[in-house]
């Protein structure tokens, strides 16, 4: 094994052994803050719990604009007590937990790139290691970037192959629905009731859900209603959402869902309350941008062919774009994320670290 492979692997194994489920990132945040300080980064935790920091540039690269590097600290469950195993160049667990390569592979790559450039020419760097990404991009939404100077960001949090650049991602709206019917005894006087469940069912039966087109998806993911099997249910609560890389298509899908809930409820004498909240805006960083050009150059310096790709999911990169920073998501190479089969190749850990190094060194 190459020395650089050994270094990034050891850093990665250390990180995955630190429990950090969403909302419980204190231990890993403390570890990362200490590590960053040793690498010349002025690091601290912000009011949301994120680890943020800055390091000035050195040498010939010092005058370049700063780049923001970001990854998230939290993991999904089951993620406590991770026991990583390395065999045949692949890191996985003993099968009882997730590995946490999502997103500790990104964290490890950033740390090792910072370590390699601690005493050499390097552009200015700003850091944002976020909390609670997995449960709603909470940390990124709480970032206060007024003291940051970077106008470009690289997020290391895609399960695509190393070499892929996610430069397009959808905007997303959360949809919350409450249907109000009328309770009645199901056996004695059902005709006096209005079933909120039936009204919801009539709407859902007509609704376009799942894959709408190549840019748009929609779902109703949670339904709660009824209190007993002998009572006509007078209330149903549902949550779902719609996503699209096209704002017009997103608006049309949300209007379609709202209209069906309202009309189906009204037809039965029920009433629908529909609340729509923007979860995050879209990513659309053009191929002609300076950021994409620099990333292509960095990838080719690492003998990787750049590949631009869209995604249907959201990430911290969406929030950074909402905050006025051009941000893209890089493929890190982990596979089967959010499952106990999650794994990553040591070679991919090394490759993504080399990419970050090339970004910093120019």
Q: Which domains does the chain have, with CATH numbers?
A: 3-169+282-361 (3.40.630.10), 171-279 (3.30.70.360)
* Catalytic-role residue among 35, 112, 132, 133: 133
Interhelix angle 26-38/3-16, rounded to 10 degrees, is 150
Closest listed residue to residue 226, CA positions, set 201, 209, 205, 206 = 201
pLDDT class for 2, splitting at 50, 70, 90?
very low
* Number of helices followed by number of strands (H, E) in the chain: 9, 17
Q: Choose among 70, 134, 136: nearest CA to 106.
A: 70
pLDDT, tens only, 80-114: 999 999 999 999 999 999 999 999 999 999 999 99
**Do the Cβ atoms of 314 and 243 come closer than 8 Å?**
yes
Position 189 scores a pLDDT of 97
Whether pLDDT at 182 is above 90: yes
10 is catalytic: no
Q: What is the pTM of this model?
A: 0.93
- Cis preceding-peptide flag for 78 (omega within 30 of 0): yes
Per-chain mean pLDDT for the chain: 97
CB atoms within 10 A of CB 114: 24
pLDDT of residue 4: 78
pLDDT band, very low/low/confident/very high, at 362 (cuts 50, 70, 90): confident
Is there a catalytic annotation at residue 294?
no
Mean pLDDT, rounded, for 305-328: 97
Average pLDDT over residues 313-334: 97
What's the pLDDT band for 3 if we cut at 50, 70, 90?
Answer: very low
Instruction: Single out the residue of 201, 255, 258 nearest to residue 225, CA to CA.
Output: 201
> Among the options 25, 35, 74, 262, which is catalytic?
74
Residue 1 reports pLDDT greater than 70: no
Cα(353)–Cα(362) distance, integer angstroms: 14
What end-to-end distance do the CA atoms of the chain give, in Å?
26
Question: What is the SS3 assignment for 231?
Answer: strand
């Amino acid at each position: 094994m190459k020395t650089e492979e050994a270094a990034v692997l050891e850093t990665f194994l250390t990180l995955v052994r630190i429990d950090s489920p969403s909302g419980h990132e204190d231990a890993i945040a403390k570890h990362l803050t200490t590590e960053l300080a040793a690498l010349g980064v002025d690091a601290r935790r912000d009011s949301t719990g994120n680890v943020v920091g800055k390091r000035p540039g050195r040498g010939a690269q010092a005058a370049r604009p700063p780049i923001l590097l970001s990854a998230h600290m939290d993991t999904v469950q089951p993620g406590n007590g991770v026991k990583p195993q390395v065999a045949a160049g692949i890191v996985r667990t003993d099968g009882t937990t997730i590995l946490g390569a999502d997103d500790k592979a990104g964290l490890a790559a950033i740390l090792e790139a910072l370590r390699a450039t601690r005493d050499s020419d390097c552009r200015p760097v700003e850091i944002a290691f976020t909390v609670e990404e997995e449960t709603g991009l909470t940390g990124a939404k709480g970032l206060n970037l007024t003291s940051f100077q970077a106008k470009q960001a690289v997020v290391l949090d895609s399960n695509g192959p190393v070499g892929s650049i996610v430069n397009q991602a959808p905007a997303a709206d959360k949809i919350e629905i409450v249907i109000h019917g009328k309770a009645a005894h199901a056996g004695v006087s059902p005709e006096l009731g209005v079933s909120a469940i039936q009204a919801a069912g009539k709407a859902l039966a007509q609704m376009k859900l799942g894959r709408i087109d190549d840019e748009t998806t929609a779902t109703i993911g949670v339904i709660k209603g009824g209190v007993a099997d002998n009572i006509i249910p007078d209330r149903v609560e549902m949550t779902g959402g719609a996503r699209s890389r096209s704002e017009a298509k997103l608006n049309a899908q949300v209007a379609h869902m709202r209209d069906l809930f309202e009309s189906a409820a009204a037809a039965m004498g029920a009433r629908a309350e529909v609340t729509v909240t923007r979860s995050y805006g879209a990513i659309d960083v053009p191929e002609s941008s300076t950021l994409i050009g620099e990333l292509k150059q960095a990838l080719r310096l690492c003998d990787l062919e750049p590949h631009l790709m869209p995604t249907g999911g959201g990430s911290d990169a969406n929030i950074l774009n909402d905050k006025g920073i051009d941000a893209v998501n890089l493929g890190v190479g982990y596979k089967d994320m959010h499952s106990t089969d999650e794994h990553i190749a040591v070679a991919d850990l090394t490759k993504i670290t080399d990419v970050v190094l090339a970004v910093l060194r120019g």
